[in-house]
Amino acid sequence: MAKVESKEKGIPPKAISETEKPKKSQKKTTDSEKPFLKTISGIGPTTRQRLEEAGYGSKESIALATKAQLTEISGIAEKTAALLIREARARFDLGLKKGSEYEASAKTRVKLTTGSQAFDSLLGGGFETGSITELAGENGCGKTQIAHQLAINCVKFLDQDVVWIDTEGTFRFNRIVQIAEAAGMDPDTVLSRITVGRAYNSEHQMALTEEALTMVPNVGLIIVDSLMAHFRSEFAGRGTLAERQQLIGKHLSFISKQAEILNCVGIVTNQVSAKPDAMFFGDPNKPVGGNVVGHTVTSRLMIRKGKAIKRTATLTKSPELPDGKIEFAITGEGVQDYSK
Ligand SMILES: Nc1ncnc2c1ncn2[C@@H]1O[C@H](COP(=O)(O)OP(=O)(O)O)[C@@H](O)[C@H]1O
Ligand SMILES: [Mg+2]
């Protein structure tokens, strides 16, 4: 378990291991309040523990799992897995719906502001809850800065907690303090609501993500910064590409499902590589990770560095917004509108 240590003075952000578990209520629990697995007859304590340890403790996680996942991870019989999934889906209302019913779920989606009006308008109001948005761009373009700003905005405007999976060691206590103060927030309050998992390899990254998203209550924002760094360095040879892509697909689809279930904003940052065939036209860079990443993220933003504080954001994929490009700024106080 990675424990977050901050060299700077002050209160360190919470490490995942210190995350409070949801408080047990004092009153007698009725069947609908009991943990899902306890309400299914035929699931003994050993099976329950195995499922919980594998991240399948709630009806939400089981409802979106496949039989193969449940049997493979927890070693339970296929018949039991099928029964669990059927029950969880029934109770979680994952059956067929009329188009008109989608309006209700669309209304529960919330937009998380970026801090720049131009940036927000590109995104139809801000980063949407319920799905993953990818921030891609060259080193130093500002992906991690945007993530810091969103963490503060999540606490300020959604009054919800943040899960931050840090794969490159670039989460900065000092930046949270500076940007929080500029936003009129108490930095200690903000820091106490960010749970940071420092991931040292891809396996660790996946495990921390699953642990945080199943343990931390009231998540409004999950950040994986960066998605591909470990996968790229660990799976270097061509022969390992298929395995790598399979793992990334699993990692991303877990985050995507959780973002939908928890109705939280999902952000993954991504590196880019040079497109050999685009020397003269368009953006010479493309996000790494291939089709698996390109298809699994719901929205894709390309960030580019301009002179000094100037940045551009280009929306290149969205299920409901037109592509577009805007200018914004990254300053000591965080993400802002750019004025010439
Ligand atoms: N305290 C600050 N004040 C102003 N700009 C900053 C500050 N910290 C970082 N930046 C800007 O952000 C850039 C780094 O952005 P970062 O988000 O780390 O890039 P990426 O994650 O895309 O590699 C720096 O080069 C600088 O331009
Ligand atoms: Mg970064």
Residue boundaries of the structural domains of the chain: 36-91, 105-337
What is the rounded distance in angstroms from the CA atom of residue 168 to the CA atom of residue 105?
35
Q: What pLDDT score was predicted for residue 15?
A: 58
Residue with the smallest CA separation from ligand 1 atom 3 is: 332
* Residue 20 banded pLDDT, cuts 50, 70, 90: very low
Q: What pLDDT score was predicted for residue 88?
A: 87
**Which ligand is located closest to the Cα atom of residue 313?**
1
Q: Return the ligand 1 atom nearest residue 174 CA.
A: 1
Q: How many whole angstroms from 96 Cα to the centroid of ligand 1?
A: 46
Q: What pLDDT score was predicted for residue 33?
A: 66
Q: Which residues line ligand 1 (CB under 6 A)?
A: 137, 139-145, 170, 330-332
Alpha helices in the chain (DSSP H): 45-53, 59-63, 67-74, 78-91, 102-108, 117-122, 143-153, 173-182, 187-192, 202-215, 229-234, 241-262, 290-296
Q: What pLDDT score was predicted for residue 164?
A: 98
Asked if the model's pLDDT at residue 168 lies above 60, the reply is yes
Q: What pLDDT score was predicted for residue 280?
A: 61
CB 165 within 8 A of CB 205: yes
* Residue 25 banded pLDDT, cuts 50, 70, 90: very low
Q: In the structure encoding, which two tokens stand for residue 226, read together?
A: 């960066």
Q: How many whole angstroms from 131 Cα to the centroid of ligand 2?
A: 21
**Across 26-42, average pLDDT:** 70
Asked if the model's pLDDT at residue 69 lies above 80, the reply is yes
Q: Which fold has domain 105-337?
A: Rossmann fold (3.40.50)
Average pLDDT, the chain: 87
226 preceded by cis ω (within 30°)?
Answer: yes
Ligand 1 pocket mutation pick from 134, 145, 310 by most atoms within 8 angstroms of CB: 145
Residue 83: name the closest of 50, 53, 59 by CA.
59
Type of residue at 192: S
Give the torsion sign (CA, 326, 232, 13, 215).
positive
Q: Return the ligand 1 atom nearest residue 305 CA.
A: 27
Q: Which fold has domain 36-91?
A: DNA polymerase; domain 1 (1.10.150)
Other C-beta atoms lying within 10 Å of the C-beta of residue 122: 23
Ligand 1 pocket mutation pick from 330, 333, 335, 338 by most atoms within 8 angstroms of CB: 330
Q: What is the pLDDT of residues 123-159, one digit of tens each?
A: 999 999 999 999 999 999 999 999 999 999 999 999 9
Q: What is the pLDDT of residues 186-243, one digit of tens each?
A: 999 999 999 999 999 999 999 999 999 888 989 999 999 999 999 999 998 878 888 9
The more confident residue out of 151 and 30 is: 151
**Which ligand is located closest to the Cα atom of residue 137?**
1
> End-to-end CA distance of the chain, in Å?
46
